Structure 1
Amino acid sequence: MIAQPGFLFTLAAFIVVIGVLVFIHEAGHYLMARVFGIKADTFSIGFGREIAGWTDKRGTRWKLSALPLGGYVKFAGDLNAASEPDPDAAQMPPEEYAKTFQAKPMWQRALVILAGPLTNFLFAILVFAVFFMTYGHAFTPAIINGVQPGSPAAVAGLQTGDKIIALDGQTVERFEDVVRVVTINPGTPIDARISRDGVERQLTITPKVVAETDRFGNAYTRGMLGVTSAGRIVERRSPVAAVYFAVQETWLLTRTMADTLVQVVTGRRAVNELGGPLKIAQFTGQQATLGLPNLVQFMALISINLGFINLLPIPMLDGGHLFLYAVEAIRRRPLEAKVQEWAFMSGFAALLTLMLFLTWNDLASVGVWKHLSALLG
């Protein structure tokens, strides 16, 4: 087992990773706003008190703030960092009001909001593409090389030589796709479509629930079929092929995140499996100890996560803004200012509650509450 990295090393790695990813996200908003002539008042990495900063020739204040758990771009016409519209913005001189976020057509505002999450996905695609061109793209044919007696695969009727075509309604192109679907479905029956001797067959498989511990001592559960695969192949991809497979990898990871969230909401997975900022910081430090390639790939994964979460339809998040724009498009007029204010307040409360809950989970996962209970007992 590899020793856990020190606290200061973990904290430094976490701040760097989150800072870079937040900058990438907010740069997406900022650059798209520049395209449409929207003035940015503030570009902040972090929240709260300013630690350092400068003002550029366009009047944008670039700054680092004390709490490094996010960031924002505050545009002209915004009341606050959440892009809540300032009701007094319309009283500005016409030439200044024309540069505000609220003065732009809805489709331009929507693109500015959408650009943040999309930039996170593009960053992940770039990272994967570079790795596939340099280190190579590892994949395994989705052909079963062996079946363990008594395993879920054996019970379902899988045999050596079977080619898995689809699992849980998802097309399987490589054995890694099998692992991805099975891992997040422990104990859950899933439909499988296989090819045996040129004939397609339908099966139902229930992956076994397996409790494991990684090399850093983190405990988790996953699903297992009980099959072995053929040899792994590593190929360096051409630039075009690398981008294609990078897009595919990003899409599959995003879909896995969506499937996992649905499982938590519907009760198929326990809520204590969700991690928050402390758990992300822990994993960041662990990946950093394994070297720069591991850390960069982990950054790509977190970037996808950041893009996905921001697209959820929760006020205060980008997806919440897009949802309000969709309502505005249907109604053909904006929501009343009071309604928007309540939406932002409820969104803030929901995010704060979620953050507290995830932090509680993080502390429980490292035994803080158990330790306190033992001390008080």
Structure 2
Amino acid sequence: MHYLKPVFIILEVLVLFNLLIFVHELGHFLAARWRGLKVDRFAIWFGKPIWKTKINGVEYALGSIPAGGYVSLPQMAPMEMIEGKSSEKSSEPLPPISALDKIIVAFAGPLFSFGLALVFALVVWQVGRPVTEAETSTTVGYVYKDGPAEQAGLKPGDEILKVDGKPVTKFGGMGDSISWRVVRSEGVSVPIEIKRFNEETKTKETKTIDVKPKIEEGKAWQRKGLRQILIEPAQSSIVAKVYSNSPAALAGLKPKDEIAAVNGKKPIHYALIGEMLEKNGDKPVELTVVREGTNFSVSIKPEMPLNPTDEQKKPMLGILWLDGGKATIAYPHPLEQIDSSVNAMISTFSALFSKKSDIKPQHLGGAVKIGEVYYHLFSNENGWRLAIWFSVLMNINLAILNMLPFPVLDGGHITLALIESIRRRPVSAWILNYVQTGCAVLLIGYMLYIAFFDVQDLLPGGGAKNRQSTSEIKFAPKTESVK
């Protein structure tokens, strides 16, 4: 039955993703009904309908282009080139509506999206969301060899206080995180203020190290890389999987075991265990294991796998590590979640409009990327909690983006309505149709442009590089096993 799991996850993604669109368009629909506007069609997705039905004079449809949705309101802004012609044509022209009606109907969509974000935030407040050590840590757990951080002198165990002169409180995510501060920096080098333990004085000392970020070069048709200094956050070394016939399997290690020490030394990142093994050669190592609150020790002799990659041509334990370390359940206040989501959007726009920033429109994610994120979230043990938490950001995103004063978006409708109230007469319907349609074509074109990059991230070799290989490692079969 394991092959059915991806199918169920995809269904969950489709349901939740389209719920966001539905609620947004429902706001427009209900506001239009309230203000007495004619509604031709309520559609999820664009393009020629692949399904439709008519109820009480309104056509409900599912489009063929999976990107957004719309409520067809001919008194607002006719867009027959995109939405298609109505199946019914009234013999009498529709009465004009006021600029206030247009503003109310346009604003209702973002308002409903914001309301849904608040509902999701209340749910997260009650049920919580998983937070990993890797997300919240500000301590360096691992420094990549020959990377910018190592060359500048950063070391595992350094506690990062500030990046680019700004305080940091976590490693990942947007806002005041180490990774975002590095990506958002614009100087040739990034000053990183750290607190380091001095072995001689037995005290912690504060110092600033200048690190020159690097940008990985990809192919011409791939997204341009972003700044990175190649460090990982401190996290517990938790076993995610034990490969068959491996030394770890023979020693009786199991998923969820924590490796608390290797030869008496505590690793603050699982990558450091690999370095310890490499220095130790093929000699046995003493592991201190924590399982369900109980500590015990095992002696394991690393072994060369049968099918090593170039990076795996060394004695190994046969363990796939849990990326992120331990997870706890946090219960953030709804206002804290809303504030964080709004600040994330503001930070993104600030980066996009900065001339010196490396962040460009191509780095934004579209429907494909959003679907991918939801898929990975639902694949997690606490996937539904994570998906609801992420939906807070998505609804705030939907509300703010739609308020931009761009024709075809809700903010564009509001802007045109304000112009109409100043001019005391509406913009020509003929001109408006072509302007709206032209802008809709540009918007869909941009979505396809983003999807081009999003799809590449799904292909082998695309997207973020894995810290550890997830390919199946094979070890020679054993005739005896250690219980």
Residues 22-73 of structure 1 deviation map (CA, whole Å, 9 limit, x = unaligned): 10110121222333333433222223225243514xx333333444322111
Q: Check the 8 A contact 2:184/2:357 in 1, yes or no.
A: no
Partner Cα distance (1:274, 1:327) in 2 = 31
- Find the residue that maps to 1:40 and give its secondary structure: coil
1:308–1:115 distance in 2 versus 1, CA, 3 Å: same
Residues 217-254 of structure 1 deviation map (CA, whole Å, 9 limit, x = unaligned): x997454597979xx997646xxxx2321321221222
Partner Cα distance (1:4, 1:300) in 2 = 30
More helix by share: 1
Residues 1:285 and 2:375 aligned together: yes
The equivalent residue for 2:334 is 243
Residues 1:109 and 2:102 aligned together: yes
How many pairs are equivalent?
Answer: 334
* Structure 1 unaligned blocks of 5 or more: 197-202, 212-217, 371-377
Tell me which structure has the larger Cα radius of gyration: 2
The range that moved more, 177-186 or 12-21, is 177-186
- Find the residue that maps to 2:378 and give its secondary structure: helix
1:272–1:76 distance in 2 versus 1, CA, 3 Å: closer
* Structure 2 unaligned blocks of 5 or more: 196-207, 217-222, 235-326, 463-483
| TM value normalised by structure 1 | 0.66
Instruction: Kindly report the root-mean-square deviation, in angstroms, between the aligned alpha carbons of the 2 structures.
Output: 5.0
Partner Cα distance (2:435, 2:185) in 1 = 37
Q: What is the CA-CA distance between 1:182 and the residue it aligns to? A: 0.8
Paired letter, 2:126: M
1:81-230 alignment, distance < 5 Å: 91-92=92-93, 97=95, 102-104=96-98, 106-135=99-128, 151=149, 174-175=169-170, 177-179=176-178, 181-185=180-184, 188=187, 208-209=213-214, 221=226, 223=228
Partner Cα distance (2:458, 2:53) in 1 = 36
Partner Cα distance (1:259, 1:271) in 2 = 12
1:163–1:129 distance in 2 versus 1, CA, 3 Å: farther
Q: Check the 8 A contact 1:32/1:111 in 2, yes or no.
A: yes
1:282–1:10 distance in 2 versus 1, CA, 3 Å: farther
Residues 1:344 and 2:436 aligned together: yes
Q: What is the CA-CA distance between 1:326 and the residue it aligns to? A: 3.6
- Find the residue that maps to 1:309 and give its secondary structure: helix
1:235–1:193 distance in 2 versus 1, CA, 3 Å: same
Counterpart among 59, 72, 75 of residue 73 in structure 2: 75
1:308–1:362 distance in 2 versus 1, CA, 3 Å: same
The equivalent residue for 2:390 is 298
Partner Cα distance (2:212, 2:111) in 1 = 34
- Find the residue that maps to 2:358 and give its secondary structure: coil
1:340–1:54 distance in 2 versus 1, CA, 3 Å: closer
The equivalent residue for 1:200 is none
Q: Check the 8 A contact 2:129/2:330 in 1, yes or no.
A: yes
- Find the residue that maps to 1:208 and give its secondary structure: coil
Residues 1:327 and 2:326 aligned together: no
Partner Cα distance (2:453, 2:59) in 1 = 36
Q: Check the 8 A contact 1:186/1:209 in 2, yes or no.
A: no
Residues 1:42 and 2:41 aligned together: yes
Q: Check the 8 A contact 2:41/2:71 in 1, yes or no.
A: yes
- Find the residue that maps to 1:72 and give its secondary structure: strand
Partner Cα distance (1:90, 1:349) in 2 = 30
Q: Check the 8 A contact 1:275/1:362 in 2, yes or no.
A: yes
| TM value normalised by structure 2 | 0.53
The range that moved more, 281-290 or 61-70, is 61-70
Residues 1:55 and 2:70 aligned together: no
1:114–1:185 distance in 2 versus 1, CA, 3 Å: same
Partner Cα distance (1:292, 1:19) in 2 = 16
